[in-house]
Amino acid sequence: MKNKFSPGVALLAILLASCSVKRESVSKYVDPNIGTAHSRWFFYTPAAVPYGMAKLAPSTNGHYGNASGWEAVGYDTRQNSIEGFVHFHEWQVGGVSYMPTTGTLKVKPGDLEGTNTGYRSKFDRKNQVAEPGYYKVLLDDYNITAELTATKRVGFQRYTFPKNELSHIILDIGNKQGESGEVTNASIKMLDETHFEGYVSTYPKYVKLYDPEGKVDMFFYGEISKKPATVFSFAGDSVNENSTSATGKGAGLVLNYQTTDNETIEVKTGLSYTSIANAKNNFTTESTGLSFDQAKAQAQQTWEQQLGKITVEGTDEQNKTKFYTGLFHALLGRGIASDVNGAYPKHGGQTGQLPAQTDKNLKAEFINTDAIWGGFWNITQLWSLSYPEWYGSFVNTQLQLYKDKGWFGDGIANSEYVSGVGTNFVGLAVAGAYNVGIRNYDVNLAYEAVKGNEFNYKNRAVGSGKMDTKAFIDHGYVPFIDQTGRDFVTDSTGSNFSGSHTLEYSYSAFAAAQMAKAMGKTDDYDKLIKYSNGWREIFNPQNKLMQPKRANGSFIEKFDPYQPWRGFQEGNAVQYTFYVPQNPAGLIDAIGKDNFNKRLDSIFTVSEKLGFGGGKTIDAFAGINSIYNHGNQPNLHISWLFNFSGKPWLTQKWTRLIGQEFYGTEPIHGYGYGQDEDQGQLGSWYVMNALGLFDVKGFTDLRPIIELGSPLFDKATIVLGNQKTLTIETKNNSKDNVYIQSAEFNGTPLDNCWLYRDELMKGGKLIFTMGNQPNTAWGTKTPPPSAQ
């Protein structure tokens, strides 16, 4: 009998065959080890899901904390011993550390350089695996393999022990971790043979500074896969062998076992910032019946799906590694603080309840977040492109905070104000969300809060920043105040950071003005747009630089434009002179177009020799004396300003080189050297830059635009936040072919170096033809709008 094979069957077979071809994994390009020298507490947390509360990671030095409250602590690639595996990693939030050991019991982590002084263990990085959603390492001193993974709110740890009569799992609860500050109270107790619960309360330095009545609580509920033979408790050095509970500073438990060779013991821990009951509920909801391997597979599938919203194609593996590691950090940086039932931590240890969700497609969580200072040049643009739910969560979080406390908080930890910069860009970020159409919140309340952030100063909470708002309103700029033995001097009369504050408040006033205009609030618009020109008050026409002024209107004397901190926070006058994102055309006109282009181009020419930062100095502030510092927020937009000054090919050149030179694929050279990667900002910048998409104004225009740069990859396919698809293709692209020769969008030639964002978000195909020499005619006819 002959087989009958119809054309329809043949077509079906082809379709089935094509469906069976697996798409290339994008997660494999993520290397969490990149940039792990002098990295921040929340930076290295591979065993987590995107925006998870449970962020598990090894710690090499976490119990040391840091005196300044923000500097590098946690995991450092230059250190070769591990002291524990910690569950909570957020800005100013850290705690709940576990450590498996064997042999003589020790209940303190010990000294970094002397592993025999405590329970820490040496390890070799050749025996370490770090992937999105998973971490594994061999602890050399104990021959124990430790593995970590997580759901959103549950941490999973699995230990593979050798044969040993004295095996232990140390639950170290009552000691500081990372940026958390000193523990003020702690408790842990066994509930039965395999379950335990507890909490830890901390008083981080930035809570102490900016919200002194506040605190940070962390709660947990855990389950062990095997009943321990005995349980000890400890507090400090004191061990009680007949106790299954411990309270107070330094509290912890030791679970003791006799293990066979290659025996595995798992620990699952539900987390919460509100209560033990909610930690248990989170545990039950997310992990009931879920094994370690299942949790790992689920976490890695989630990462693959989220990272895969943007797929890039090309032959350069290193560029893909930079791209997806940057995207990984962007999706890892901030973390949810609300429970599965909508409970969230309010000020001073209270518990609040999130309102009923009005938009199922943009379900809003309450999140912990570092300052959004500079985030409008990276993270909010990435959120807007493909992850609008997280932009919506940021806005909803801030509006909940506004309802609870009366003010936005630029950085928050469990509703406590922890902004380290003393300013507040939340209103600008909210206006940007409104202007791009993310509105899953009460827009009238949002405008009230945005306007209040610009104008209100009576009884303003210190932690909400902008304590010099009155001075800005009265003068149209912030008057300079000399430092008197303090780093931060800001009050109703002015600030020692008056130059940067004037520029920042001018920019945020512009953003609020655009939101006012969109909502038909003409009087507010007129008032706000006037303040958006505050930068003109401190622009010195003689030296063409931003120069702080005193209250009497005179420029400060003995002015050194390269001197950081005098008038400019985390920067200097050379860097901050280009900080007029709301009106590039006005700045270009004030400096003079030729002078502007020559100066900015020469800045990048010189800065390239230092890797566009502080060279190879390992320190977060290594580039603060430089004329361009990509390692910190104030400079992140200026390489795109050539689009406004008639030389878009210089934006193409320098943005491509910054991505090539500043960003690395090494543990030490990751985001510069000794980076200050504020919860995914520098990673987000690389992603947007590599796509060739950016907006100097951070989407604060009434009708936002997208500027076009030098796309890095042969092809990028982006699932947009509205579920449409945008494809960016390049022809003749290479390392040397960085210049756009021509472009088209959906078959229509593009003569400008920008598009309206709403057009781009319709999706379609954007095609660039590249070359190794500038096409000085392309993109110059009509500059991006800079109207006031």
d(CA 252, CA 634): 43
For 494, the 3-state DSSP assignment is strand
**Helix (H/G/I), strand (E/B), else coil: 51:** coil
Compute the average pLDDT of residues 757-775. 98
What pLDDT is attached to residue 459?
Answer: 96
115-128 burial code (b ≥16 CB/10 A, e <16)? beebbbbebeeeee
- Computed over its alpha carbons, how large is the radius of gyration of the chain? 27
In terms of DSSP H, where are the helices of 377-468?
379-386, 388-405, 426-435, 443-455
What's the full length of the chain, in residues? Answer: 788
* Helices 317-332, 379-386: crossing angle, 10 deg rounding: 90
Burial code of 73-102, b = ≥16 C-beta within 10 A, e = fewer?
A: bbbbbebbbbbbbbbbbbbbbbbbbbbbbb
DSSP-assigned letter for residue 442: -
Give the pair of three-digit tokens for residue 30: 């993520």
CB 370, CB 676: distance < 8 Å: no
Structure tokens at 712: 């890095």
Q: How far apart are CA 59 and CA 61, in angstroms?
A: 6
Residue 19 has pLDDT above 60, yes or no: no
Residue 12 pLDDT > 50, yes or no? no
Confidence of residue 762 (pLDDT cuts 50, 70, 90): very high
SS3 category, 575: helix
Which ranges constitute the DSSP H helices of 580-716? 584-591, 593-608, 648-661, 681-691
pLDDT number for residue 511: 98
Phi and psi dihedrals of 525, rounded to 5?
Answer: -60, -50
- Distance, CA of 202 to CA of 185 (rounded, Å): 7
Q: How many whole angstroms from its chain centre is CA 23? A: 28
588/369 Cα distance (integer angstroms): 34
Q: Is there a contact between 169 and 254 (Cβ–Cβ < 8 Å)?
A: yes
Q: What is the pLDDT of residue 625?
A: 87
Name the average pLDDT for the chain.
94
In contact, 100 and 160? CB cutoff 8 Å:
no
* Joined tokens for residue 562: 């390269």
Measured at the CA of 515, the angle between CA 352 and CA 418, to 5 degrees, comes to: 40
Confidence category of residue 449, pLDDT binned at 50, 70, 90 = very high
Lowest mean pLDDT among 11-25, 246-260, 437-451: 11-25
Q: What are the DSSP calls for 155-201, one per residue?
A: EEEEEEE-SEEEEEEEEE-SS--TTS-EEEEEEEEESSSSEEEEEEE
Q: What is the dihedral of CA 556, 560, 565, 566, to 10 degrees?
A: -20
By C-alpha distance, which of 204, 205, 188 is closest to 196?
A: 188
Sheet holding 238-240, edge to edge: 57-59, 84-90, 93-102, 164-172, 251-259, 230-235, 238-240
Query: 152 CB contacts (<8 Å, ≥6 apart)?
Result: 49, 51, 52, 53, 54, 286, 336
Reported as a single tens digit per residue, the pLDDT across 76-101 is 999 999 999 999 999 999 999 999 99
- pLDDT of 651 over the 70 cut: yes
* 234 touches 246 (CB < 8 A): yes
| pLDDT category of residue 551 using cuts at 50, 70 and 90 | very high
752 DSSP 8-state letter: B
Decide if pLDDT at 7 tops 80. Answer: no
User: Cα–chain-centroid distance for residue 493?
Assistant: 33
Task: Assess whether pLDDT exceeds 50 at residue 191.
Answer: yes
| Rounded Cα distance, 754 and 744, in Å | 11
Structure tokens at 483: 């430092």
- For residue 171, give the amino acid letter: L
Q: Cβ(30)–Cβ(47) under 8 Å?
A: no
Please give the backbone phi and psi of residue 488, each rounded to the nearest 5 degrees, phi first.
Answer: -115, 110
pLDDT level of residue 486 (50, 70, 90 thresholds): low
Containing 540, the helix (H) or strand (E) segment is strand 539-540
CA separation for the pair 246, 265 (Å, rounded): 23
* Confidence category of residue 255, pLDDT binned at 50, 70, 90: very high
For residues 186 and 198, is the Cβ–Cβ distance under 8 A? yes
| Residues sharing a CB contact under 8 Å with residue 619, sequence separation 6 or more, in sequence order | 38, 673, 674
- Contact criterion met (CB below 8 Å) for 28 and 323: no
pLDDT higher than threshold 50 for residue 600: yes
Task: Report whether pLDDT(117) > 90.
Answer: no
The 3-class SS string of 120-144 reads: CEECCHHHEEEECCEEEEEECCCCE
Q: pTM of this prediction?
A: 0.96
d(CA 439, CA 362): 9
pLDDT of residue 782: 95
Take residue 369 and report the two structure tokens written for it.
């977040």
Torsion of CA 183, 189, 195, 201, to 10 degrees: -20
pLDDT of 371-387, one tens digit each? 999 999 999 999 999 99
The predicted-structure confidence for 613-648, as pLDDT tens digits, reads as follows 999 998 888 888 899 999 988 999 999 999 999 999
Give the Å distances, CA to CA, from 283 to 48, 222, 267.
15, 8, 12
Q: Are 484 and 471 in contact (CB under 8 A)?
A: no
Q: What is the mean pLDDT of residues 47-57?
A: 98
Residue keyed to tokens 């390890």: 123
Residue 107, amino acid:
V
Q: Encode pLDDT of 565-576 as tens digits.
A: 999 999 999 999
Strand ranges inside 31-133, DSSP E: 57-59, 81-82, 84-90, 93-102, 121-122, 128-131
Task: Return the closest-CA partner of residue 782 out of 746, 755, 758.
Answer: 755
> Which pairs count as long-range contacts for 781-785, CB under 8 Å and 24+ apart, including other chains?
781/751, 781/752, 782/751, 782/752, 783/585, 783/643, 783/644, 783/645, 783/646, 783/753, 783/754, 784/584, 784/643, 784/644, 784/696, 784/705, 784/707, 784/752, 784/753, 784/754, 785/701, 785/705
Query: Using N-to-C axis directions, what is the helix angle for 379-386 and 426-435, rounded to 10°?
Result: 30
pLDDT tens-digit map of 278-329? 999 999 999 999 999 999 999 999 999 999 999 999 999 999 999 999 999 9
**Least confident residue range of 14-28, 201-215, 359-373:** 14-28
Q: Tokens at residue 599, please?
A: 């100066």
Contact assessment for residue 287 and residue 268, using Cβ atoms and an 8 Å cutoff:
yes
pLDDT band at 108 (very low <50, low <70, confident <90, very high): very high
Specify the pLDDT at position 13: 41
Whole-number pLDDT of residue 622: 86
How much is the pLDDT for 633?
86
The C-alpha atoms of residue 716 and residue 184 are separated, in whole angstroms, by: 50
